[in-house]
Amino acid sequence: MSELPDNYDPDQVEPKWRDEWQDMDVYEYQDDGDTDYVVDTPPPYPTGNLHIGNALGWCYMDFAARYHRLVGDDVLFPQGWDCHGLPTEVKVEENNDIHRTDVPRDEFRQMCIEHTEDQIDAMKETMGTLGFSQDWNHEFRTMDPEYWGTTQRSFVEMADDDLVYRDEHPVNWCPRCETAIADAEVETEEGVDGTLYYVTFEGADEDSEERSSSDSAAEPRNTEDIEIATTRPELLAACVSMAVHPDDERYADRIGDRFEVPLFGHEVELIADEESDPEFGTGAVMICTFGDKQDVEWWAEHDLDLRMVFTEDGHLNDDAGEYAGLTIDEAKEEIADDLDDEGYLEDTEPTEQAVGQCWRCDTPIEILSKEQWFVEVDQDAILERAQQVEWIPEHMYDRLEDWTTGMEWDWVISRQRVFATPIPAWFCQTEDCDHIHIAGPGELPVEPTDEGPGIEACPECGGDEWTGETDVMDTWMDSSITPLYVRGWPDEEFEPTTLREQGHDIIRTWAFYTLLRTGEIADDIPWEEALINGMVFGEDGNKMSKSRGNFVQPEEAVEEYSADAFRQAMALGGQPGSDIQFQWKEVKSASKFGTKIWNITKFASGHLDTAHLDRPDPAYRDADKWILSRTSQVADSVADHMDDYRFDAALRELREFVWHDLADDYLELIKGRLYEGRPGEANAARQALATALSASLRMLSPFAPFLTEEAYDGLPHTEGSVHAADWPDIDMHDEDAEIAGELIAEVAATVRGWKSDAGIALNAELDKIEVYPEETPERAVDTYDLSEAVNAPVHVREGVPAVELVPVEIDPDHSVIGPEFGEQTGRIVGALEAADPEDVKQQKQLDGEIELDLGEEVAVVPGDAVEIHEEHRAESGEEVEVVESDLSTILIYND
């Protein structure tokens, strides 16, 4: 127990506990046979910035991990870092003003490693600031040989099962990054301004070689020109055919005709295909290799030629003739100008396009035909495994299903980069030998560009010269085995992890690839539950942006209030799966709640000591039984919410209980006993208070780890860390006590509120109070604490109070009487004030007017000219205040 200061100072407390927790094993995974709760923690890219969206996901994971430690699970909460990939390479190139090819491969990789280490350090500092409870003994970096050796092992096993293969195939290609990328790495930007070009293709006359022998005597047939519409004139050199819809009557007799590609001169044939849209442009489109995936489908289905005119770095090659060397954008402009100059360009019009872009650099992607490594995608198997996972919320499964069923190509996993897991393969250099050696498990980890294969002679040709694969793996090949790695595969038999927490924006990548890989390698699901978080929007409801002025870093909220306040705001933002709106008022409210918790703890610590606690059979009063029953009930309910990952509902219910039931009601009820009660009664209150407060701190600890640790440490009856304690198991639910307690608490609050409104001191004595409950409790209500709280004897009665409302005073309204009665106003007012209030009340109610005997005449006064003041009188005739509450009618006697 430590002495508690009057005020809680998070600037002092939070750094203190961060340091102390580093020396404690409270978050350490024991692996001792207890029920495991294993978090498949997302390894973030080490950007150096743990932004607020990251923080939301880690808050969810930390809430769950801390809760499951409290309920007795052996929790493994590791932390990984997804080090490899384009973002790091691009940043290193920018920082050093180089291209990766300007320095040796191993030197560039080392530059990436050093940069990544710095970024990791910055993000770990933020994680510590926010109080996350990872077990740092289980930290991993995908750039470490131990990890990428495991990635290589997974590659080898899938290759052995013929699930990894190498082939030439059209792939998405980023000209900026100069690498293949998977479908999931292509972001589509809608509504991009573009231009639709209407271009004439001249008909190609049939020559004698193209006509059949039976037509040899016929005259050459002239083919009429055709007009096509395209948004990409820069692909004219790659045009290999044209397509129209078979039902488009405009081209019914033209299928099979040949045309000359303008500017480039080669001939192409018009084909019919149902995928062609007759409503687009002229209904005729060119097929190029490749403008989009539709081109790829047509190219494969109709066995068309391959004419590749784009280079890997986004220029036109020699097959583009005089346009060779131009960038794609430059070629678009020059070719369009030349089409216009040569008379081929009939018209242009603005249009909007959907453009696929590289998700890392926003460069429009191209489709190139390249030798690449692929992983086979079995959509049915992925969905079958995904259906065995509990998705939270459930509809997030639909996103995975939509993506999976829409997959058109296998997963291209090779990248033409440096900083990534090497593909463990070598190519035999003997002429005409196509053998590829893939490393065996004993050769791993291996860097094929630095080391030779584990065999000397090629098994197919006997050659002994090898070239290592320079391509590396997609970074998702690393992060898609996190559950396998965390569970000790391949040394240990794989068991699914418990929880995968991630954002909905990477369901199509991380969730999809992990289901694919774990299923194929371990024939199992990767995790039992998938908890999905949404995005965090700014206070104005818009996506956070520095230009909008709504951008918030977690550290800002910590500096302004505290880490605990920020964490609670994240919990209360909304239920998992929904996008949440960051609101400063929520952080401020959480900070105020922290002050409330501290004040309760400070008050309690002054009354609690071990000598008076844990005595057998305490003499609990109704108020004690009520708070203990409520604590028991809240602990069960909050646990249910936590089990369902409804952190918002759990924290909201807990805060309501602590703020109102414990602080506002119970503490006020027991102050009399704590200060002046007999020893047995005071000790019972102390024990109930200690139980309820300790339980509250434990329940709150997943959300506010710093505050609860400091408060728990300051109580005399607690030992060790609150985070190593047990979840409350009170088992004192008492329905009768709750009915009585709710009545007592409400009456106390109502009477104290009435005193405040009436300007009466809260400690002022009252003659007595009678309470008439709406529903009479089955047993007598113990009013000892209630009497002390309101400073009056309290009697709980059955039935309806015998009270009548008696008129006692008449208040004439001069603004109504004056204008109507003029000089008689004085006499009228005097007569009203002298009249019997009961008689005036009756006349007003029955007739709507009052007759006044003025002696020589009778005056009739309108009912709205008087106000009748009434008082409640008890059956004894005593004046009484009647106050209605939700649960009872309260009679307050105060002469």
Whether 49 maps to a domain, the answer reads no
Q: Do 552 and 52 touch, CB atoms closer than 8 A? A: yes
Query: Are 603 and 635 in the same domain?
Result: yes
Query: Are 673 and 586 in the same domain?
Result: yes
Between helix 512-522 and helix 145-160 the angle, nearest 10°, is 70
Per-residue pLDDT at 212: 36
Distance (Å, whole) CA 309 – CA 368: 9
Query: Are 718 and 644 in the same domain?
Result: yes
The range of the structural domain enclosing residue 286 comes to 179-205+221-367
Buried b (16+ CB within 10 A) or exposed e, 273-290: beebebeebbbbbbbbbb
The upper half-sphere exposure of residue 769, i.e. CA atoms within 13 Å in the direction of its Cβ, equals 28
Last residue of a domain, one of 333, 367, 401: 367
Whether 445 maps to a domain, the answer reads no
Within a 10 A sphere around the Cβ of 540, how many other Cβ atoms?
12
**CATH code where residue 855 lies:** 3.30.720
Per-residue pLDDT at 478: 96
Query: Are 724 and 623 in the same domain?
Result: yes
Q: How many domains does the chain have?
A: 4
Whether 473 maps to a domain, the answer reads no
Whether 606 maps to a domain, the answer reads yes
Within a 10 A sphere around the Cβ of 558, how many other Cβ atoms?
22
Distance (Å, whole) CA 375 – CA 409: 10
Query: Are 715 and 823 in the same domain?
Result: no
Whether 589 maps to a domain, the answer reads yes
Contacts by 613-617, CB closer than 8 A, 24 or more apart: 613/683, 613/686, 613/687, 613/690, 613/716, 613/717, 614/687, 614/717, 615/683, 615/687
Per-residue pLDDT tens digits for 831-886 = 888 888 888 888 888 888 888 888 878 888 888 888 888 888 887 888 899 999 99
Distance (Å, whole) CA 343 – CA 330: 20
Whether 111 maps to a domain, the answer reads no
Query: Are 279 and 328 in the same domain?
Result: yes
Whether 527 maps to a domain, the answer reads no
Whether 351 maps to a domain, the answer reads yes
Per-residue pLDDT tens digits for 65-106 = 999 999 999 999 999 999 998 788 888 999 999 988 899 989
Per-residue pLDDT tens digits for 601-620 = 999 998 887 666 677 788 89
**CATH code where residue 353 lies:** 3.90.740.10
Query: Are 604 and 662 in the same domain?
Result: yes
Query: Are 657 and 787 in the same domain?
Result: no
Q: Is 546 annotated as a binding residue?
A: yes
Q: How far is CA 599 from CA 497, 606, 659, 663, in A?
A: 41, 11, 11, 9
Q: What share of the chain is helix, strand, coil (3-state, %, to 5)?
A: 40, 20, 35
- Nearest to 718, CA basis, from 866, 609, 640: 609
Q: What are φ and ψ of residue 671, in 5° steps?
A: -60, -35
Name residue 39's amino acid.
Answer: V
Distance (Å, whole) CA 105 – CA 419: 9
Query: Are 856 and 796 in the same domain?
Result: no
Query: Are 645 and 780 in the same domain?
Result: no
**CATH code where residue 600 lies:** 1.10.730.10
Q: Helical H runs in 44-190? A: 52-70, 86-96, 105-129, 145-160
Last residue of a domain, one of 753, 786, 814: 753
Which portions of the chain are predicted below pLDDT 70?
Answer: 1-2, 206-222, 610-613
Last residue of a domain, one of 341, 367, 393: 367
Q: Is 817 helix (H, G, I), strand (E, B) or coil?
A: helix
Query: Are 593 and 708 in the same domain?
Result: yes
- Retrieve residue 561's tokens: 């209030």
Query: Are 619 and 722 in the same domain?
Result: yes
